[in-house]
Amino acid sequence: MRAVVVIPTLNACGLLAEAVASIEAQTVPVEIIVVDNASSDGTLQMLTTRFPRVTAVRNTENQGFGRAVNRGAAEARNADVIILVNNDAVCAPDFVARLLMPFADPSVGMVAGVLLQGAVPDLIDSAGIELDTTLGSWDYLWNRPVSALAAAHDPVGPCGGAAAYRLPVFRELGGFDEVLFAYWEDVDLALRFRDAGWQCVLAPGARALHKHGQTLGAASPAARRLEAFGRGYMLAKYRVGGRSPLRWAKIAALDWPVLAVHLVLRREAGPARERLRARSLGLRTPSRRVPLELATVGFGTALRRQADLLRLRFAGALPAHFTHHARADSGRRKR
């Protein structure tokens, strides 16, 4: 299997250099494409000087995570698998080799790598995506010790910061939905891969240290707006509530307290506005099947997790590496 690694980036020159160096040090040969979302920090000059074998693609403006990846995928040559790595991740030398192994099974279309928390590397940041019964996404094994990987099951799909996809299928399915500037695009793509009959496998040995939130900030206003947009768009695109009052009640119980915190305590109307805008856009798309059979997180568990996260926010103790799946960086994030 031949692989291409695509790394979107935005004003993260130093972090990017570490990420690229770790990919160049892999135990198997790999093509590297960096898609620069109009950085102003000397990123292109750094790549030209330090990494002449890397293909650098420059966008004239920040086009977000999904569009940057799609452009990288279009530039790839002679690759069977596309691997996505965040610009703030440093990969172990056998990261790519371990991601490629599961593709020997012809039913596997996606492979999830493992992101470890950069500040606490014995804790997991993400081992892929898991879903709750409202189609909410959570980082699988978030904040669990690395030892939890020994008994891990396969996730619904990979987290976009450490993901591998069959490139021909990625292209056939249209890549990432470009309506999603950042955050939730990996959830949507995983669902489309699943709907097309492809499986996802966890590669527990494919590991990278992740300095999460370096582009937008893990809890910045921009990240909160993008998170709210992504959630609203996914609910509408997949018609998750349908005609079920009970399901709408569950969505409200999970989502409205978070929006209320933004609006009342932070005095931020942006997340609520983005949620409404996303719903309008999502309802314009063709209706897609709601794959709730993939949910492994019950509503009660999701509610407890959300309550725990709100308590951490109030206490100012939410980890800096917190991601959107735990309840999606490089130009994002992005969901």
In this structure, which long-range contacts are made by residues 50-55, counting pairs with CB atoms below 8 Å and at least 24 apart in sequence? 50/17, 50/20, 51/17, 51/20, 51/21, 51/24, 53/24, 54/20, 54/24, 55/31
Average pLDDT, the chain: 92
> Which pLDDT belongs to residue 329?
39
Please check whether residue 115 is in contact with residue 165, taking contact to mean a CB–CB distance below 8 angstroms.
Answer: no
Cβ–Cβ < 8 Å for 66, 181: yes
Stretch 251-277: mean pLDDT? 93
Q: pLDDT class for 31, splitting at 50, 70, 90?
A: very high
pLDDT at 318: 59
pLDDT, one tens digit per residue, over 275-306 is 999 999 999 999 999 999 999 999 999 999 98
Give the contacts of 171 (CB within 8 A, at least 6 positions apart).
Answer: 73
Distances (CA, A) of 198 to 24, 107, 194, 281, 286: 29, 6, 5, 27, 21
Sign of CA dihedral 75, 81, 82, 86: negative
3-state secondary structure of 80: coil
**134 token code pair:** 């409202």
Report in angstroms the alpha-carbon separations of 129 from 39, 60, 285: 29, 32, 23
Tens digit of each residue's pLDDT (9 = 90 or more) over 141-186: 999 999 999 999 999 999 999 999 999 999 999 999 999 999 999 9
Name the band, by pLDDT with cuts 50, 70 and 90, for residue 311: confident
Q: CA 72 to CA 90: how far, in whole Å?
A: 20
* Longest CA pairwise span in the chain (Å): 59
Of the chain, the percentage scoring pLDDT greater than 90 comes to: 86
Residues 91 and 156: their CA atoms lie apart, in Å, by 22
Q: At what angle do helices 299-315 and 245-260 cross, to 10 degrees?
A: 10
Going from N- to C-terminal start, the domains of the chain cover: 1-335
Average pLDDT for residues 64-91, to the nearest whole number? Answer: 97
Threshold 0.85, pTM exceeds: yes
Half-sphere exposure of 270 (CA within 13 A, CB side): 10
Q: Report how far residue 259's alpha carbon sits from residue 70's, in angstroms, rounded to the nearest whole number.
A: 31
The pLDDT, as a whole number, for residue 232 is 98
| Helical (H) or strand (E) element with 8 | strand 3-9
Q: Which CATH architecture has domain 1-335?
A: Alpha-Beta Complex (3.90)
